[in-house]
Amino acid sequence: MDRHEKMDHKLEELGGKAKEAVGRATDDEELEAQGERDQTKSNLKQAGDKVKDAFRH
């Protein structure tokens, strides 16, 4: 697992938060839901990163 993958996963989470916020502000339920999905997917990837790191040490 390299740092770039971890950064990508974190950026994906932040992008999801931004989409969710814009969706909420503009009353765009689909964009808000897409942001929530992006965050969930990113959080799962980050959890996987932590498990991989735990087995390496």
Q: Where are the domains of the chain?
A: 3-51
Nearest Cα neighbor of 5 from 44, 46, 41, 35 is 46
Distances (CA, A) of 50 to 29, 44, 45, 55: 32, 10, 9, 9
Whole-model pTM? 0.85
| Residue-wise pLDDT tens digits, 8-52 | 999 999 999 999 999 999 999 999 999 999 999 999 999 999 998
Tokens representing 44?
A: 């799962």
Provide the Cα torsion 20, 21, 25, 29; round to 10°: 10
